[in-house]
Copies of this chain bind each other. A is one copy, B any other.
């Protein structure tokens, strides 16, 4: 992982997780350091002082929590435009690891706090971002609390497609940037089950798997049925 000081075109120049409008903010950008993290590198570790906020520029990352006995859980995947480290706590409660080679910008938390105080547009933007993150985390709670393995996988695939091209009516396909173990730890299951369900969906002609990490939606409607969306 390398870090060097550099101003960047603009904070939030990419679509944020909330899908909000872009906010150009040279005032924060000047404090950001660009960080390159290779696949599987830990960008921040659980327990470190939460002194920075991180914005994903390219690549993909996973937010990881570990139980003392080694059980692992992934609370979310981060894609370009997403943020990590918006917390009120003094330490990070979870680790951030690169799923693929990644470009990040790291801002001192102080700079962000200043920005939030002085720039009302940015303030509002981050507020919405947090609200959206909360809503999507609650969606995941429902998924883990009440859905079975097929429903989880269906929901996951559709959510990935939605993030790749927001608002698209009929998703065509998605690339799985992460490996099976990551999917399993995100959905609260095992690699074996993830694999089994994927082949089941393939044999039911609902999806196709031309390569291991490319999923083609053959029957997006059937997938949507399967994910047991909220009433």
Contact = CB atoms under 8 A, between A and B. Distances in A.
6 contacts: A66-B230, A69-B228, A75-B141, A87-B135, A93-B138, A116-B124
Of listed A133, A145, A185, residue having the most chain B CB within 10 A: A145
A86 interface: yes
Interface string A66-93: 1111011101000000000011110001
B18 A88 contact: yes
Contacts of A142: 65, 67, 73, 75
A1 interface: no
Contacts of A186: 145
Given A67-B142, A144-B145, 15 more contacts: A46-B230, A65-B230, A72-B146, A73-B146, A87-B134, A87-B135, A88-B135, A89-B131, A93-B138, A116-B123, A130-B131, A134-B137, A141-B141, A145-B185, A145-B188
Contact size class for A? 35 or more
A4 interface: no
B89 A146 contact: no
Nearest to A69: B228
A75 B131 CA distance: 15
In the complex, the count of this chain's copies comes to 2
A121 B218 CA distance: 52
A229 interface: yes
A229 to B, nearest CB: 7
Given A127-B130, A141-B73, A231 B86 contact: no
A212 to B, nearest CB: 24
A103 interface: no
A145 B73 contact: yes
A102 interface: no
A68 B128 CA distance: 28
A123 B113 CA distance: 12
Given A127-B127, A131-B88, A71 B230 contact: no
A208 interface: no
